[in-house]
Structure 1
């Protein structure tokens, strides 16, 4: 069995699949990526490098498409080299949107093409028009429509697709829903476990909060409006005024992972620190930057209350990891969250735009730690029941090898301990 994964990042959503298949003697696994860092035993990395970026004179509606095509050309060239060396995949499984999968039916016409469909863009009804303070104009609407061009090509070309949540699948055109299976990547519940009475001490970054009784946490790839960072910071100011012993830890990079950068080059962290400088106690506000998994887990295990905010957009892995670790989750009442959280049962729901509401629910959690134990336990139980990697990875593998092109081929087996990949 020959498998080609395609993703500009490495290993991203394909970490667990590639790890398992790389160990299987029946499989030869190649991972086409733009990322040189990182490796997985048994997985050969094929690095592709786009020749250039979209030209400045290209109409801004189609720059995303031009970048996707340029990426697809680079992947095509790498694929031709793989073919010349004797590697012709039975299955190509790639992330749709950036372009790597666009020409796979041309270079490997007999391979089954599987696509990971994470998001389909809409001007109205999801993320783009969520904030009333950021109204869209006709230019925005047209640009967003055209942004789906490479994804639509993949929807037409692929044999089958997968989305991690029902909410995300719902964004795609109904006429393609029959092609898309809903199956989450899975959370390693053997790794993300509760640790009662844990205290946060991270010697590597000289952070010792072992004396802290109230610890509020926030995690994001970046610090941006899409994940409610401005509202979170306003909430921090309120919490610090009300709870003089409460500390706050923010995990993430000072950048924008989703959405637009500020026009003047300022980051949202800089903006909010400046805006709230008279209201914040910086001695009780700790920015850790990005953390390795073991330190990130320690933050979650020590958390008294964890704030997760998101626009109607892709659901973060972190929210489910937080729940698996038994955190008390305080999350925005937005569609991707509502698919998982029931207020007062496995988490507390809040108004995305109301720092006052968020702060009130944080206080509720801090004031009633005993009552919150049941909610914490239910949060973990939700992950064990619906999002456990140990259950979902075999399903994901079964889905991968369910196509007609793979029926006659020997399917890989799963060894014990496959979930311990961190």
Structure 2
């Protein structure tokens, strides 16, 4: 079987599927991407790049669509070169939204296309209008509607689609739901497993003598993932718990949502606003997986906050290690965490309540042991890579046949 994967970033959600398919000598796995840096054994990486950026004079509603078209155009040219070299895929798997999948059915009209549908944008009822302190303008509402244009083209064009959670699938128009299967990427539960009594020691951080460690993990430090509320909650925690330390994993950047207009980062803003004992707050930056694993294995309580948006892999990875996850009471989280059963839920907007629930965990370690065990059980039963990976492979095979 000849499989073509398409994603701006390599290997992204397709790492495990592509590697597994590449292990079969009967398969030829090609990955079209913009990422020049990473290579994986058995996967033939082919690069594409748009020939320019969206033009500054393009209407700002349409600029993301123009960017998607430019990416789609680059992939189309890449596909024409593949055909000239004799490669025609039996199936194409591509991430929808940034444009690589837009014209691939024109290049390979007889090849089935499976699109990964991660998010469909809404002005009302999800992430965009979640914070009442950030009301949307009429301009915002119109811009958000147009942002779905490349995704709608993919919904129409693809043969099958998949979304990682029921919540994320529910955001797409109902008339396309029959095309979309819910299939999570999966978590390697053999790697992300509990290590009872683990002490946190990293190359530049030794917390082996600390018994109370609050952890927070996100790609960036931004309102979408509740970073401001988490920092405010630490002030309450530090006041009451003089031996408690916080470990924050992630980059000082914005991955989702708007940056601050004055050029400051949200880390700078919050540390200027909230008086903290910074000797007990440890910013690690992004970590290699092995070090990140050590952080969550040693965690006393792991705080995961998110707007009603795409669910992070990190929450389920934390549950798989047996972390006590304190999650925001928002739809992507409540699909997985049941308060008092396999984790705890809290009001996203209340730093004081976040701190109170952190106290609850730290004050009752024995009571929380059952929740930790249930968190691990949830990961094993519903999100285990070893169980989900064969389903991904079968979906691809079903589309081909």
TM-score (norm 1): 0.94
Find the counterpart in structure 1 of residue 9 from structure 2: 9
* Deviation beyond 3 Å, 4+ runs, structure 1: none
Matches within 5 A, 1:129-278: 129-203=129-203, 206-276=204-274
CA RMSD across the alignment: 0.6
Instruction: Identify which of 333, 336, 360 aligns with 2:332.
Output: 336
Structure 1 residue 390: deviation in Å?
0.6
Match of 1:78 in 2: 78
1:8/1:34 contact within 8 Å kept = yes
Matched, 1:402 2:390: no
Task: Give the aligned partner of residue 293 of structure 2.
Answer: 297
Question: How many residue pairs are counted as aligned between the two chains?
Answer: 401
- Deviations 1:128-187 (CA, angstroms, capped at 9, x unpaired): 000000001110000000000000000000000000000000000000000000010101
CA contact (8 A) 1:71 1:98 kept: yes
Write out per-residue CA displacement over residues 209-241 of structure 1, whole angstroms, 9 at most, x where no aligned residue. Answer: 111010000000000000000001001111111
Extract unaligned runs of 5+ from structure 1. Answer: 408-422
CA distance in 1, matches of 2:138, 2:350: 29
1:82-121 CA-to-partner distances (Å, cap 9, x unmatched) read 1111111010100000000000110011110110000000
Q: Which residue, out of 351, 354, 360, partners 1:358?
A: 354
The 2-side partners of 1:12 and 1:240 are apart by 37
Q: Distance in 2 between matches of 1:91 and 1:56?
A: 36
Q: 1:348 aligns with which of 335, 344, 349?
A: 344
- Contact kept in structure 2, 1:18 and 1:40, CA below 8 Å: no
Counterpart in the other structure of 2:318: 322
> Any idea what SS the aligned residue of 2:284 has?
strand
| SS in structure 1 at match of 2:233 | helix
- Could you tell me how far 1:292 is from its partner in structure 2? 0.2
Distance 2:380 2:102 in 1: 36
CA distance in 1, matches of 2:69, 2:264: 31
What SS does the corresponding residue of 1:402 show, helix, strand or coil? helix
